[in-house]
Amino acid sequence: MTKHSDFTKARKSPFWSETVPPKIDCQQLSADLSCDLAIIGGGFTGLWSALKARERFPDASIVILEAGNIGNAASGRNGGFCAPSISHGVSNALARWPAEADTLIKLGRRNLDELEEDLACYGIDGEFEREGKLNVAATPWQIEGLKSTKASYARCGIQADYLEGDALKMRLNSPKYSAGLFEPDYAQLNPAKVVDGLASAALKRGVEIYQYSTVTGLAPAKNHVVLATASAVVNAKQVIMATNAATPLLRRLRSRIIPIFDYTLVTEPLTDAQLSAIGWQGRHGIADSGNQFHYSRKTADNRILWGGYDAIYHFGNKRDEALQNRPESYRRLEENFRETFPALPDVGFSHAWGGIIDTSARLTFFVGMAMQGRLAYALGFTGQGVSATRFAALAMLDMLQNVKTERTELRMIRSHPVPFPPEPLRTLAVKWAQNDLAHEDKTGRRSLMLKTLDRLGIGFGS
Ligand SMILES: Cc1cc2nc3c(=O)[nH]c(=O)nc-3n(C[C@H](O)[C@H](O)[C@H](O)COP(=O)(O)OP(=O)(O)OC[C@H]3O[C@@H](n4cnc5c(N)ncnc54)[C@H](O)[C@@H]3O)c2cc1C
């Protein structure tokens, strides 16, 4: 049995926030104003929207209204895995949009290329590393899963190397895993550095940012939208809603996402000898193949970030800040960490935190319009928004400009996920799906209920 660490000593805030200089210094909105574009939410989606809008409209007045401080939510709390995908992976694209999967795959890879170029062009040191990702398997059915993923990747022209034995041990030496699939084209970044860099680039280009300025209501007016905050009003010709897992300001979107809490630990820095003991020599990220999966990666100073597994939903869509700290999940994370890395029995954890994921029933974001084409929104990124938010920002701007592009014509973009049922059915459905997913992880058998949901294109995950 694992002897647990004393998590009261771990800092309960994202490790990333300590790697950037003091937070962006922007005040609360204190006087009414008018602008061409108001963006609600200062995470990746809002920041990319602001920068891409500036590129398209050099003279437009652009304002970001952020409820807390820039990057306080998912964008400053995530694992920093930056996928070459806009569709929550290749398998999700093939399962839900087989006819346009090739296009989704192509656009996802192009988005990652362009994201890398944008970071360089804005001069952002986001610790961007395109060092690949290793997916590992612990059971015979997971090994079969990796082999079939390799086959479908090959059909789509994506390189992935199946590894066993010494070839696997050179990337990860853990008694828990007997096979791996290495995807060379996968990136990681430091989310807080990227948030900070995007916000600084936006400010430098004349975007106004107001922090601690929660938008409490939206109302259509003759030629604009009125955004209410506690201290002042904004009259905006157009609006982008980039509020992710928060309760959507548009009532009709409330059943399309559910808030799922995800938790992360970060270790103390590891020595070269410790890294060599676990065979983790490169800078690639690692994820396991379970439905309840862990993601792990190295930080710049060689700590291990170890997150995932638990995906916690609270009755009635509770989003209380206090729920971002969950000792029970930290203990489970530690147990699984020790099992994966028995060669690191004494490594301590310096940080532990949680965050909220906006889960949609198809696992990808969706985009839409409201208020007679004056407002665009993008929500539902589930656990893969670090790269997809950039693409979603471009799609929203296309829609606000009323132009047809390869993005706006995608079925993925033109459709919405099915709604989650109301409570108490919602909690029951989530619990049922989670039980069946955990059972599949133990036995390799997918339940009838999950197979039925697969056929209907409905999923649950993080
Ligand atoms: C623990 C965790 C790990 C993750 N790991 C990964 C990963 O490794 N890779 C990956 O691709 N994705 C990951 N994700 C998901 C990814 O972080 C998100 O998809 C992405 O950051 C979403 O960006 P966003 O800007 O849409 O949302 P957010 O960053 O949540 O920003 C939304 C902002 O809107 C603000 N807001 C909300 N309501 C209002 C309002 N009414 N008025 C004003 N402001 C408002 C909020 O304060 C918030 O700052 C993870 C998420 C979590 C929580």
Nearest-CA residue for ligand 1 atom 10 is: 384
Distance 341 CA to ligand 1 centre (A): 30
Say yes or no to pLDDT of 460 above 90. no
Q: At what angle do helices 44-56 and 388-401 cross, to 10 degrees?
A: 50
Q: What is the number of the ligand 1 atom nearest to the C-alpha of 249?
A: 41
Q: Is residue 43 within 6 Å of ligand 1 at its C-beta?
A: yes
pLDDT score of 1:
63
Would you say the CB of residue 181 lies under 6 angstroms from ligand 1?
Answer: no
73 C-alpha to ligand 1 centroid (Å): 5
Residues 219, 238: Cα–Cα separation, whole Å: 12
d(CA 105, CA 111): 10
| Distance (Å) from CA 245 to ligand 1 centroid | 7
What is the Cα–Cα distance from 210 to 27, expressed in whole angstroms? 5
Distance 42 CA to ligand 1 centre (A): 9
User: Given the CA of residue 381, which atom of ligand 1 is nearest to it?
Assistant: 19
Q: What is the pLDDT of residue 8?
A: 82
Query: Taking the CB of residue 318, how many other CB atoms lie within 10 A of it?
Result: 12
Q: Are strands 258-267 and 349-359 parallel, antiparallel or unpaired?
A: antiparallel
Work out the average pLDDT over 22-46: 94
Pick from 326, 426, 391, 372: nearest CA to 103: 391
- CB contact burial 109-147 (16+ within 10 A = b; e otherwise): bebbeebbebbeebebebbbbbbbbbbbbbbeebbebbe
How far is the centre of ligand 1, averaged over its atoms, from the C-alpha of 452 (Å)? Answer: 30
Q: Tens digit of pLDDT for each residue in 97-151?
A: 999 999 999 999 999 999 999 999 999 999 999 999 999 999 999 999 999 999 9
Give 259-274 pLDDT, tens digit per residue: 999 999 999 999 999 9
DSSP 349-398: EEEEEEEEEEE-TTSS-EEEEETTTTEEEEE--TT--TTHHHHHHHHHHH
Q: Are 368 and 376 in contact (CB under 8 A)?
A: yes
SS3 230: coil
294 phi and psi, to 5 degrees? -105, 145
Residues 73, 389: Cα–Cα separation, whole Å: 14
pLDDT band at 455; cut points 50, 70, 90: confident
The pairing of strands 133-137 and 285-288 is: parallel
Q: Take atom 15 of ligand 1 and give the residue whose Cα is closest.
A: 383
CA distance linking residue 329 with residue 340, whole number of Å: 16
**Positive/negative CA dihedral, 185, 42, 198, 300:** negative
Structure tokens at 389: 């938010």
pLDDT, tens only, 226-249: 999 999 999 999 999 999 999 999
Ligand 1 center to 270 CA (angstroms)? 29
Q: Tokens representing 159?
A: 């390189």
Tokens of 9: 């000593």
Q: Dihedral of CA 211/216/218/221: which sign?
A: negative
Q: How far apart are the first and last CA of the chain?
A: 28
What pLDDT, on a 0 to 100 scale, did the predictor assign at position 314? 97
Q: Burial level of 158, CB count in 10 A (0-12/13-18/19+)? A: middle
The yes-or-no verdict on residue 4 having pLDDT over 90 is: no
pLDDT score for 352: 98
Question: Which pLDDT does position 65 carry in this prediction?
Answer: 98
Tokens of 378: 């993008």
Q: Containing H/E element for 462?
A: none
Task: For residue 258, report the distance from its CA to the centre of ligand 1, in Å.
Answer: 13
Predicted confidence at residue 2, as pLDDT, reads 66
Nearest residue by C-alpha to atom 2 in ligand 1: 78
Q: In whole angstroms, how large is the CA radius of gyration of the chain?
A: 22
- For the chain, give every domain's residue range: 129-189+259-356, 425-456
**If you write DSSP's letter for every residue of 58-94 in order, what string do you get?**
TT--EEEE-SSSTT-SHHHHS--EE-S-SSSSHHHHH
Residue 6: strand, helix, or coil: coil
Centre of ligand 1 from the C-alpha of residue 462, in Å: 13
pLDDT tens figures, 375-391:
999 999 999 999 999 99
66 Cβ inside 6 Å of ligand 1? yes
| Burial environment of residue 216 by CB neighbours within 10 A (0 to 12, 13 to 18, 19 or more) | exposed
Q: Where are the beta strands (DSSP E) in 89-176?
A: 133-137, 161-163
Q: Which atom of ligand 1 is nearest to the CA of 387?
A: 11
| pLDDT mean over 310-337 | 96
Does 44 contact ligand 1 (Cβ within 6 A)?
yes
Model pLDDT for residues 41-92, shown as the tens digit of each residue: 999 999 999 999 999 999 999 999 999 999 999 999 999 999 999 999 999 9
Nearest ligand 1 atom, CA 70: 49
Tokens of 277: 């003991």
Q: Please say if the pLDDT value at position 22 is more than 80.
A: no
Q: How many CB atoms lie within 10 A of CB 284?
A: 21
What percent of the chain is predicted at pLDDT more than 90?
A: 94
246 CB near ligand 1 (under 6 Å): yes
**Ligand 1: does its nearest atom lie under 6 Å from the Cβ of 45?**
yes
Q: pTM higher than 0.95 for the full model?
A: yes
Mean pLDDT of the region 269-282: 96
Helix pair 388-401, 101-121: axis angle to 10 deg = 100
Name the CATH superfamily for 129-189+259-356: D-Amino Acid Oxidase, subunit A, domain 2 (3.30.9.10)
Determine if ligand 1 sits within 6 Å of the CB of residue 80. Answer: yes
Is the beta carbon of 427 within 6 A of some atom in ligand 1? no
Name the phi and psi angles at 162, rounded to 5: -80, 130
Q: Quickly list H helices, 223-349.
A: 272-277, 327-340
- For residue range 390-435, what is the model confidence (pLDDT) as tens digits? 999 999 999 999 999 999 999 999 999 999 999 999 999 999 999 9
Within 13 A of 27's CA, how many CA atoms are on the CB side?
5
* Phi, psi at 407, each rounded to 5°: -65, -50
Output the CA 260–ligand 1 centroid distance in Å.
12
Q: Measured from the CB, is residue 28 less than 6 Å from ligand 1?
A: no
CA of 83, closest atom in ligand 1: 11
199/208 Cα distance (integer angstroms): 10
| Ligand 1 atom having least distance to the Cα of 45 | 25
Q: 439 C-alpha to center of ligand 1: Å?
A: 30
